[in-house]
Structure 1
Amino acid sequence: MTSMPEKPSPRISEGVRDTAVQRLQEAYAEGHISHEEMDERLHRALTAKAHSELESALASLPAQDAGTTSTIAAAGGRIHRRGAWRVSRHLKVESAFGRVNLDLSQAVLEHPVVDIELQLGTGRARITVPRDATVDVEGLNTGWKDLDYKPGRHSRPGGPTIRISGVMGFGKLRIRHARRGPDTDR
């Protein structure tokens, strides 16, 4: 009896490979694996042809918690995040009177979709998203001021999706795409 040939495994997408590399780098930064082990696992992840090979590179790493919500809050004053800061899957931003400035252009986005919930009273807010991001503002309720957002010309499939929801009271929200990609020197 002859056996049927196995179906070839589907190709590993760059997004899946990038996520695996990020998980390995985080595991190293958090002390779960040694430098030598990270190098060896990165090599396996970057050269993997099948999903099983990629999974073996991630074996024994701590599980990711996709349901975490982080909250950034200030009654008055400023909320300012920029550079290589880690953005959770769900981010809640609360400010009664201050200014909010979230720059996601160089942030570590571990998930293909990031939900940002704004609960803002007065004051201005500015969100800078990665150049290739897609922005969804359907769930946002603006009070007195209009939203200032023009979709980016460089949005493309594969970039992150940033969904912004919540309530803006008397302030103005301005959303802009980064002028340069995260790998470009400024």
Structure 2
Amino acid sequence: MSDARVSEPERDRVVELVQRAYADGRLGPAELERRLERALTATSSRDLEPVVADLPGREPDDPDDPDDPDDMVHIACAGGRVTRTGDWHVPRRLRVDSEYGRVRLDLSVAHVPHPRIDIELWLGYGSATIILPAGASANADGVRTEWGRVTCKAAGRQIPGRLHVQVTGELPYGRLTIRTARR
């Protein structure tokens, strides 16, 4: 890492690595908080180096690594429904293609081993509902729609130590609703 100004993707990679170390039991809550604060206030790439220097791997999984079998799951259907509920394993990246169907992804009790997941939705005429666990955040700014709508009732800003879901894709005539689980 250099003295160059830190980029957001670089900062996000370091935050993800620290969160993964915490989830794996390598860091305690106080150390997690201290390292996240250092990562989020770093001004140069060199400032980020000590935050992850003693962590195994030093680099989180590359989201574009084609050799990572747990990296991307692709679900496609022409019509009908795509439903994932209960205790299911959520991959780091999930892509759903559906021309006329309805999509329901309930993450509220799912096994989510990653601090951040990316969901790509490519829906022609269908609609999608994503249900987040309590305390999770989501950003749907990357979703494009023509005649549909996007409604996000969850926090939009990533909360350190909590799940963050980044949603992208296209829903020309569909709608997307993101909300947290009802109690």
What range describes the TM-score normalised by the shorter chain of this pair? Answer: 0.5 to 0.7
How much does 1:96 deviate?
Answer: 0.4
CA distance in 1, matches of 2:179, 2:80: 22
Q: Which one of 124, 137, 142 corresponds to residue 139 of structure 1?
A: 142
Select 1:105's aligned residue among 103, 108, 129.
108
1:16 pairs with one of 21, 24, 44: 21
Q: When the two structures are superposed, what TM-score results if normalisation uses the length of structure 1?
A: 0.61
1:85 equivalenced with 2:88 (yes/no): yes
Flag the 1:100–1:151 CA change in 2: closer, same or farther, 3 A: same
Alignment of 1:1-186 (within 5 A): 16-18=21-23, 20=24, 65=68, 68-152=71-155, 156-180=159-183
Question: In structure 2, do the counterparts of structure 1 residues 160 and 80 end up closer, same or farther at CA, with 3 Å as the change threshold?
Answer: same
Gaps of 5+ in 2: 1-17, 32-54, 57-66
In 1: Cα distance, 2:85 partner to 2:70 partner: 23
Deviation per CA, 1:46-96, whole angstroms, max 9, x where unpaired?
99xx9xxx97xxxxxxxx938721011111100000011111111001100
% identical equivalent positions? 40
State which structure, 1 or 2, has the greater radius of gyration over its C-alpha atoms.
1
Number of matched pairs: 134
Shift of residue 126, structure 1, vs aligned partner: 0.7
In 1: Cα distance, 2:182 partner to 2:69 partner: 29
Gaps of 5+ in 1: 1-12, 22-44, 56-63, 181-186
The C-alpha deviation readout for 1:116-137, integer Å capped at 9, x for no partner, is 0000011221110111111011
Q: Which residue of 2 aligns with 1:10?
A: none
Any runs of at least 4 consecutive aligned residues in structure 1 with deviations exceeding 6 A, and if so which? none
